[in-house]
């Protein structure tokens, strides 16, 4: 899996350019970053605990010549602050590509690639539980869907891309299956990133039953015209203390990806590499609850996932495709 180093000076410049645009009252890029709370799309699902980070929209504030200059200055300061934080987090702990992972990877995203090539709006839905919603992050802009949206904006500044956060803490495949239509299908996505399986392991659910629900869900997403990327478990203390169940779940998700020729981001292996091969202490990327990622963990996860998405779109644009009998995400 080819994963590139995340800390690049050009990203700092890209974000600071937004501040300059605000200063000179130029129009903001047409990116739409929607971090819509999935509970709003599916009111029948219980809301997460009050202390869980909520998901919300993140957009660069537009400059209005009628507003007092002090408000514009504050907006510029906020953009600079976010830009500084986005890069400084990797100065503290660099986000490096996993060692020992194959350098060729492929996530097949024909729908996303064709929409971008034609200049049409792209809708991406991050579907999942608490690590999609963003538990453990210090602010909504540091959840992985918002980090991913910012990265795609930098890569495709003229594109109209919507990233919808449809994560609800505590859920797994049974609950997600009930809201699949309202939270995903009805939004007409071009890409669904489905993070699933961790809560099933923690709750002692049968991986076989979970796999059936995921398999059915992927079929429905594909029938609706969406590209799909599955995201497997996180490597964290509460998960690795259940090695047999975790291993079965990871293998089940991999088999589903292979069967349907969809992508799978091997989050468990990527995070394990951080700890075992890059010698990063677990508490440098997992919060005190032993389960959820912190700001650095979400940032590095989003960066590596975004790198794969961008690389795949580029490959599709130049006519590269995967054979029908090969999994669309080639790794290790």
Instruction: Compute the Cα dihedral for 273, 276, 279, 282 and give only its sign.
Output: positive
- Looking at residue 257, its pLDDT comes to 95
Residue 149's closest CA among 133, 169, 130, 125? Answer: 125
Strand order from edge to edge, sheet including 263-265: 161-167, 122-128, 191-195, 227-231, 263-265
- Looking at residue 275, its pLDDT comes to 94
Other Cβ atoms closer than 10 A to 24: 7
* pLDDT mean by block of 10 residues, the chain; 332 residues: 40 41 38 37 31 34 46 58 56 70 61 91 98 95 95 94 97 98 98 98 96 98 97 97 97 96 94 94 96 96 92 72 36 28
Q: Residue 189 in contact with residue 226, Cβ under 8 Å?
A: yes
Provide long-range contacts, Cβ within 8 A and 24+ apart, for 76-85.
Answer: 76/19, 76/22, 76/23, 79/15, 79/16, 79/18, 79/19, 79/22, 80/16, 80/19, 82/15, 82/141, 83/12, 83/15, 83/16, 83/18, 83/19, 84/12
Between CA 136 and CA 295 the distance in angstroms is 7
- Looking at residue 330, its pLDDT comes to 31
User: Domains in the chain, start-ordered, CATH in brackets?
Assistant: 9-46+53-317 (3.40.50.1110)
Q: Tell me the pTM.
A: 0.71
């Amino acid at each position: 899996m080819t994963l590139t180093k995340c800390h690049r000076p050009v990203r700092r410049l890209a974000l600071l350019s937004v501040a300059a645009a605000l200063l000179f009252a130029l129009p903001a890029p047409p990116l739409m970053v929607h971090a819509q709370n999935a509970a709003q799309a599916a009111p029948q699902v219980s809301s997460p605990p009050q202390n869980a980070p909520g998901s919300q929209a993140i957009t660069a504030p537009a400059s209005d010549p009628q507003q007092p200059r002090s408000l514009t200055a504050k907006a510029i300061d906020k953009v600079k602050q976010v830009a500084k934080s986005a890069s400084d987090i990797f100065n503290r702990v660099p986000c490096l590509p996993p060692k020992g992972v194959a350098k060729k990877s492929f996530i097949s995203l024909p729908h996303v690639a064709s929409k971008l090539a034609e200049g049409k709006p792209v809708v991406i839905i991050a579907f999942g539980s608490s690590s999609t919603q963003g538990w453990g992050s210090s602010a909504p802009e540091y959840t992985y869907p918002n980090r991913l949206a910012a990265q795609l904006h930098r890569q495709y500044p003229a594109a109209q891309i919507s990233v919808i956060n449809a994560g609800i803490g505590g859920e797994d495949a049974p609950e997600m299956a009930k809201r699949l239509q309202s939270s995903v299908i009805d939004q007409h996505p071009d890409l669904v990133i489905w993070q699933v399986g961790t809560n099933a392991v923690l709750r002692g659910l049968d991986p076989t039953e979970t796999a059936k629900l995921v398999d059915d869900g992927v079929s429905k997403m594909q029938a609706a015209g969406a590209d799909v990327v599955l995201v497997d478990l996180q490597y964290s203390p509460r998960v690795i203390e259940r090695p047999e169940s975790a291993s079965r779940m990871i293998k089940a998700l991999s088999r589903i990806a292979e069967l349907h020729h969809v992508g799978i981001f091997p989050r468990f292996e990527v995070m394990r590499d951080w700890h075992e091969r890059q010698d990063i202490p677990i508490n440098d990327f997992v919060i005190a609850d032993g389960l959820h990622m912190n700001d650095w963990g979400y940032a590095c996860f989003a960066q590596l996932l975004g790198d794969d998405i961008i690389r795949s779109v580029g490959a599709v644009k130049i006519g590269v495709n995967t054979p029908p009998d090969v999994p669309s995400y080639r790794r290790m």
